[in-house]
Amino acid sequence: MSQIPSTTNSSVTPGQETLSLVEPTVMFHCRVRKSPFFKSTRKAGARAFSTYNHMWLPSYYTDPDDEYWALVNHVTLWDVSVERMVEITGPDAFVLTNMLTPRDLTKCKVGQCKYIVVCDEYGGILNDPVLARLGENHFWLALADSDLILWVKALAFGLKMDVSVTEPDVSPLQIQGPKSRDLMHDLFGKLIDGIKHYHCVEASLDGIPLLLTRTGYTGELGYEIYLRDGSRAEDLWERIISAGKPYKIQPIGPCNVRRIEAGMMSLGFDMTMDDNPFQIYEPKMLKWLVDLEQDADFIGKEALARINSEGVKRKLVGIEIPGDRIVSAVDAFEKTHWDIRAGAEIIGDLRSMGYSPKLETTIGFAMVPIEYSELGMRLDIVLPSGDTREATVVEKPFVDPEQRIQKAQPAG
């Protein structure tokens, strides 16, 4: 086992004893799996890790603000192998996969990707993966943080479906930023010009088997490279870094505030199985994410139809908190789920938060009663100190609501 070195902080308060706090040591134990790119991320200077899908996820390398600007201005490389894959194949693969989600997958062609939600029988959100359709009966689900494979296996077994549900040897990287297309073009040539937003294509690089997708978790122009042979991870990492040098490529961790700017939710932060899609997503997105008119009897259909008819009592809203920065970009990873107050009453909680360098203000997502979800509503965020900061309900996404950056096609 290896470990992250600990540090010791001491403080003295007049009239009190000296308080000595030793930061906990994080052990890289084998119970939490390492990415095939783990050695490469350590070599690149990853300074912090979190756990996600029973794996180590690099959180940041330099400073999250610096990484934000590298993403917005240049091109960045992320190890997101933690997006573990559920592979569904076999004669009943389409039937099972279509049953998992309220999105109508008859509208998903081979070679397309779709953002979907997976709901339980009560309409609660179990996961929000990106789905890739590699064949008529061949699907990948790139998971957010949960053990969804157990849910899928149980359904397949209980319904006696003729399918195979496995976790394949697949490990994704993200290439994100305005120079990502130039870098990908250098690596893969004209193949890149034909990949539309939320489409995929099989490829290889120096004999390394890959799947390429026009997807990402940033709101920026970007791609994901799905490595299909973990033994070639270091080769692929070095090849990308070398090709990216002219474009100032920089390895970074997930850019929390950029995904908030883009209105992208995080499972476990912004939504859980206690929340349903009608609470989380905007009506424009719900039109295709939850299709109650389709013929398929997907899991949670009856519950979601009832929720849609009755309406929701709580809603996830975008908020803006003016004034000085509340916490550093590093601290923002853990300082969420603060209380939200209206007058003297606690009415909700802050789910995600970050300081936007582009907007020069703090933004976030909050879950509040529906009567407090109107644009312009004023709320109070209760800080750990007990002080409050005024917040205003604003429209989300905060930046590029029409996704023009992500959907941009090659010139010419």
DSSP letters spanning 289-302: HS-TTSSS--TTHH
| 406: enclosing H helix or E strand | helix 404-407
Phi-psi region of 374 (alpha: psi -120 to 50; beta: other; left: phi over 0): beta
Q: Among all chains, which residue has been given the structure tokens 């990948």?
A: 140
Grade residue 328 by pLDDT with cuts at 50, 70 and 90: low
Q: What integer pLDDT is reported at residue 411 of this predicted model? A: 64
State yes or no: pLDDT of 11 exceeds 60: no
Specify the pLDDT at position 30. Answer: 83
Domains of the chain: 2-82+170-258 (3.30.1360.120), 259-394 (3.30.1360.120)
Tens digit of pLDDT for each residue in 15-62?
444 445 677 777 888 889 999 999 999 999 999 999 999 999 999 999
pLDDT surpassing 80 at residue 224? yes
Q: Quick one: angle between helices 148-158 and 93-100, nearest 10?
A: 120
Provide the residue type at 132 as one letter: A
For residue 39, give the H/E element and its range.
Answer: helix 38-43
Number of H helices, E strands in the chain: 11, 25
For residues 10 and 19, give the distance between their C-alpha atoms in angstroms, rounded to a whole number. Answer: 6
* pLDDT value of residue 335: 56
Cα distances (angstroms) measured from residue 334 to each of 11, 327, 331, 353, 358: 22, 10, 6, 10, 22
What residue ranges in 149-294 does DSSP mark as E strands?
A: 164-166, 171-176, 200-205, 208-213, 222-227, 250-251
Mapping DSSP to helix (H, G, I), strand (E, B) and coil, where does residue 105 land? helix
* pLDDT confidence bin for 6, thresholds 50/70/90: very low
Using only the alpha carbons of the chain, give its radius of gyration.
22
Using CA atoms, how far apart are residues 253 and 229, in angstroms rounded to an integer?
Answer: 22
Its pTM stands at: 0.92
Q: Write down the pLDDT at residue 16.
A: 45
Q: Name the percent of the chain lying above pLDDT 70.
A: 92
More confident residue, 11 or 173: 173
Residue pair 112/106 in contact (Cβ under 8 Å)? The answer is no
pLDDT band at residue 386 using 50, 70 and 90 as cut-offs: confident
**Percentage of the chain exceeding pLDDT 90:** 85
State yes or no: pLDDT of 226 exceeds 50: yes
Would you state the pLDDT for residue 140?
A: 98
Residue 4 has pLDDT above 50, yes or no: no
